[in-house]
Structure 1
Amino acid sequence: MVIDECRAAHRIHTKNGRVIGVETDRGRIDAPIVINAAGPWAANLAATCDANLPIFASRQSVAICRLKSPIEDERLPGYSERGSGFYLRPDTPSVYMVGSLAPDDSEPIDPDAFRPRMDGATSRRYCERAAQRFRRLSDASPGGSRVSFFDDTPDGNPIVGVDPRVDGLIVAAGLSGHGFKFAPVFGQEIAAIIDAGRMDGDLDQFKVSRFLD
């Protein structure tokens, strides 16, 4: 088996309704099976073979909050509260990562023209949101940020399985920020499709056709 890294896929080639290969930035690769696992770029790649997918990239930011008076032996656990619109996890001692669950903080973006920056006012707002639940964070100061993007779907769940519109095309994208938790199962089931032509487990809730019915 050959793993060819750092090669961009630009087009899925088909003939008579079946996959025959992929066009890359370094030439064509012929293949009877193609797995579209291009994340935020999966929709663009799928469109090249008329198998459109409802996947879009969304901005995701995490503020780093640093306590001025750390309490080493009482670290907060990982925590999520949708009603208050935030999640939190401990990082290094006295440092917490705070992200947003508020829809207004997660706008669609172009992953090819994305600026991974979070301004200080937004970072402070995230920290203050968490401080309303955890008093010890009230004296925290912004200590940086992490900014990236998700590949989202309309229902917030991944798209995994055979695409019924094109023979030989398998989708594993639209992970919506939590697909990594299912990654071992997704990999196992995709291998089962390639090896035996069917999944061993029940992943109907993730099937492509739920957006085609």
Structure 2
Amino acid sequence: MTRGEDSVEQANIPIIVRRKRYDVSRGSGFVDLEIEGKLHRFRIYQNPQRRGIIIEYNGIYDSLSNLKRLLKGTELERYTELIAKYIRSTIYEAQIRESRKHRIIIMKSIQTSIGLLEIGLRDDGKLVLKLGNKRVLADRSNLDKKLGEVLPLDAMTPDLVSQIQSALKSIESNIISSENVVIVLDSEAKDIVLPSAIVKDKLVTMIPFTAT
């Protein structure tokens, strides 16, 4: 959630953004605008039937493109364009934040004596180590140290070490990398938003398959 007091004046009356939130995965959110000293909430929904955004204000629903019709006859009608800009910026900012999140593209799981150890490869090349509530980032240079942060020493049996090495080898063997392209081949490859993405100036293509 973000809070702010961004204001723009129209006819010398400030509009202040009090709160705004939009969940890209759920396609819903809201923006609270203080206009002429009164707080107004506009709820935002992704249209499930077709492309577009639905806005709810005072229990009435209409598309964002028809916001003027939604506000017709109200004290906010003259602020329609400005309100629409705040709604769109709330959505766009959330989409930008979502696009910047790193995603795990391969995940391997190993059962240990104290729980399930997950080793994941992120789209930036970092390794994610997770066990219970513990989660750390690692790379090849500090992997042993980072494993020690999630696994106690007495849990590191020779068999577990062998399984971890096997999981890492499996991850590495299923990545074909060149100067400009990375292709991930793995039966456990995780779906991402698009089958391809640009990561550090490389085209990353996911090709999940079922091993035979």
TM-score w.r.t. structure 2 length? Answer: 0.25
Q: As a proportion of its length, which structure holds more strand?
A: 2
Larger relative contact order, structure 1 or 2 (CA cutoff 8 Å, min sep 6): 1
